[in-house]
Amino acid sequence: MKINLFVLYGGKSVEHEVSLRTAFTVLNAIDRETYDVYPVYITREGVWCCDGLQKQKPGSMDELASLGGNDRAGNAAASIGGVLLHYFSIPGKRVALPLLHGSYGEDGTVQGLLELLDMPYVGNGVLGAAATLDKDVAKRLLDQAGIGQTRYISFSLEEWLEKGPALIEKAERELGLPCYVKPATLGSSIGISRCQDVRELAEGIEEAFRYDRKLVIEREIRGREIQVAVMGNDRPIVSLPGEFIHRHTFFDFESKYMDKELVMSIPASLPEGVTARIRELALQAYRALCCSGLARVDFFLDADGELYCNEINALPGFTGTSMYPVMWERTDGTTYAELIGKLIDYAFMRHADKGTIRYTR
């Protein structure tokens, strides 16, 4: 029998559109001889929509966002209950594939629901998802693991309202200018500002607080940004490194998803020994943040050959311009469809392993 595969996408997140792009690419790549695919679209208001088994591959992203099956203007809780009752309870082997970037999907919330349902799911668990999405928490854990990072400070909206001028002075003194202001729990470069003076720094902080209640400010590292893909549970493996060749000083949302001139360089041309060092550091970071399933680890390499871990993305993009799947194809020949299959296999392995834990005395 085929495996029932529930693909979750959209979501109550600023990264809703990115999730649609990822879902469109993945749904067109899934092996339909192995899986019966049930797309589950989550609206920007958090309502879950499912039309049942998807017999044909989607022709457009608009099609993905037009699923019915529930009252689109209805109650989020009722819609979730309806999807769980009518579809997640279908007999047979089942697994979920969350393709939800950012809030309410990449942060451990959906993972917690799937744990309660005792359903295998692709990607990081509750702790790994929550820790990696929160840049402040992730940086503290990486610090404890001894993994080099750029200098940074972090503070909450409440702290900003209480002592804003002092925090501006601290950032300028400890980090220097230019620097980067980032919402603590978002990806895709949304809400991030490159600030070259104090005025821009204040504006960047206000912008970041539109999307979050905590932020981080980082010293700028001038150099190359190198990425590696990691996959696996207890014994993860690492791809060859890659980098985007581009002309942008700041690789923002438009640069990542709209620039038609982006060039992927895989494997990245690196000095002797640097590739091995990056791959080893990526494994250390993956374990330090309790990751499982998959992640992409990003580094800066400066002109002196120093490596700095920039961040870990627990749900890297799978769009047509995303690095993660291409790095695996260039590393060992894994195709897009094969990669999805491997990630699903890791989900089943982790679920089986957790099934050996005792919950009674």
Q: What is the set of active-site residues?
A: 15, 188, 322
Instruction: State the amino acid at position 246 in one-letter form.
Output: H
Q: Kind and range of the H or E element at 266?
A: none
Residue 313 marked as a ligand binder: yes
Query: In sequence order, which residues have a C-beta less than 8 Å from that of residue 280 and are 6 or more positions away?
Result: none
Decide if 3 contacts 95 (C-beta within 8 A): yes
Are the CB atoms for 31 and 121 separated by under 8 Å? Answer: no
**Cα angle at 332 between 329 and 333, to 5 degrees?**
50
What is the C-alpha separation between 135 and 218, in angstroms, rounded?
A: 11
Distance CA(233)–CA(351), nearest Å, equals 11
Q: Which of 218, 237, 217 is nearest to 228 (CA)?
A: 237
Q: Tell me how far CA of residue 297 lies from CA of 25, 215, 316, 325, in angstroms.
A: 22, 20, 9, 13
**233 appears as a binding residue in the annotation:** no
206 annotated as ligand-binding: no
Binding region for Mg(2+): 298, 311, 313
Binding region: 298, 311, 313
